[in-house]
Amino acid sequence: LVQLYAPLNWFGTYYRMIQQALIDMENMFDLLKEKREVMDIPGARDLQLNKGMIEFNNVSFHYDPSKAILKDVSFVVPPGQTLAIVGPSGSGKSTIIRLLFRFYDVQSGVIKFDGRDIAQCTQNSVRRAIGVVPQDTVLFNKDIRYNIRYGRVAASDEEVEDAARAADIHDRIVTFTDGYETMVGERGLKLSGGEKQRVAIARTILKSPQFVLLDEATSALDTQTERNIQQSLAKICENRTTIIVAHRLSTIIGADQIMVLKDGEVLERGTHDELLSRNTVYAGMWKQQLRKGNETETETSSGDENAD
Ligand code: ATP
């Protein structure tokens, strides 16, 4: 009888392992919100990085041939510098992030990291070089420690906790009933948008990548949370080549370069001050945000008056 059960047990164990692996893979795709669309070319080599320069040379891209999404987009982000991309919804900002992560290959033009065409490199080596802080971080149905360690699976507990401290979430985690062993995700403790973003920041700190891609959340966080997150983000972007898709212009005033995208085309680029002095599209967006900010402040202060 034992002999009969042994293979069944074996099968059961492997079945569970395979099932878990599939769940993890599914989670991973969920996490990255996209499916794999590209394959390594035969003989693809690992990306060899030097200082970390990003180049987009005359890139055109469409998901569907009937609708061009990016039209002849070019830019260079020198090593260690930050490029912020702004523009209306649907202008193609997140598409640029997806292309850098090589979810898709471009139809024309070339994307280079340190002079190497990423389409010629292994996808894994390209992705290893990049840390992404997405708009909305999806958490695994595992404990918080696992979720942070996902940035570098070989990291020690101490390194995980150091990353959590740097991302300003350690103090919050220790208030959870089971601390770092607290289950999070859909079936566990629900974290706020700001907390999830800090988990993503902690992961990126652990990964310590050469490139950082930030897709700023559209939904506004409260001012204090926003300020704390900005500080943690500043830490991971320091000395790393960074691209930020920004929705709030106030967060990118200090960017080395701001690029305005509309309908997949680059309308203008420059520093915040240069673009303001040109008094065209960016300056208009800036004035609009200032007006909106003032309106919100007026609303809040009049609300306070009523409360008194
Ligand atoms: P937002 O500020 O709202 O996030 P965005 O500037 O980042 O917008 P993208 O997400 O890059 O815009 O989308 C650009 C265009 O591509 C949109 O018209 C969008 O509908 C389309 N698009 C995005 N993803 C896909 C996809 N997987 N398949 C087909 N079309 C897509």
- The continuous run of DSSP H or E covering 220 comes out as none
Query: How is the beta sheet containing 130-133 ordered, strand by strand?
Result: 130-133, 211-215, 241-245, 82-86, 257-262, 265-270
Q: How high is the pLDDT of residue 135?
A: 77
Tokens representing 212? 């950082």
For residue 284, pLDDT over 60 is answered with yes
Q: Which residue, judged by its Cα, is nearest atom 18 of ligand 1?
A: 90
Of 208, 240, 239, 244, the C-alpha closest to 229 is 244
Taking alpha carbons only, the member of 85, 84, 81, 121 closest to residue 240 is 81
Q: Which range among 16-20, 70-74, 161-165 shows the weakest confidence by mean pLDDT? A: 16-20
Q: For 102-152, how does the pLDDT look when each residue is reduced to its tens digit (9 = 90+)?
A: 989 999 999 999 999 999 999 999 999 999 888 778 899 999 999 999 999
Q: How far apart are CA 122 and CA 42, in angstroms?
A: 10
Q: Atom 11 in ligand 1: which residue has the minimum CA distance?
A: 92
Residue nearest atom 27 of ligand 1, based on CA coordinates: 63
More confident residue, 297 or 219: 219
Backbone angles phi, psi at 32, to 5 degrees: -90, 0
Nearest residue (by CA) to ligand 1, atom 30, is 63
pLDDT at site 11: 54
- Write the CA distances from 90 to 73, 111, 261, 262, integer angstroms: 15, 21, 10, 8
The Cβ of residue 271 has, within 10 Å, a number of other Cβ atoms equal to 14
Looking at every residue in the chain, the average pLDDT score rounds to: 84
The residue ranking higher by pLDDT, 167 or 266, is 266
Confidence band of 235 (pLDDT split at 50, 70, 90): confident
CA of 65 to the centre of ligand 1 (A): 14
What was the pLDDT predicted at 26?
46
Cβ of 308: how many Cβ atoms within 10 Å? 4
Crossing angle of helices 223-237 and 193-207, in 10° steps, is 10
How many angstroms separate the CA atoms of 149 and 155, rounded? 6
Ligand 1 center to 95 CA (angstroms) = 6
Distances (CA, A) of 14 to 7, 18, 20, 135: 10, 6, 10, 36
Q: What residues flank ligand 1, with Cβ below 6 Å?
A: 63-64, 69, 87, 89-95
* 296 membership: H or E segment, kind and range: helix 281-307
For the ranges 1-5, 74-78, 262-266, 276-280, the lowest mean pLDDT is seen at 1-5
Q: Which residue has the higher pLDDT, 99 or 192?
A: 99
71 CA distance to ligand 1 centroid (A)? 14
ipTM of this predicted structure: 0.97
Q: In the predicted model, what is the mean pLDDT of residues 83-101?
A: 93
Mutate to test the pocket of ligand 1, among 37, 64, 95, 261 (most ligand atoms within 8 A of CB): 95
Percent with pLDDT over 70 in the chain? 81
Between residues 303 and 284, the one the model is more confident about: 284
Report pLDDT for 307: 35
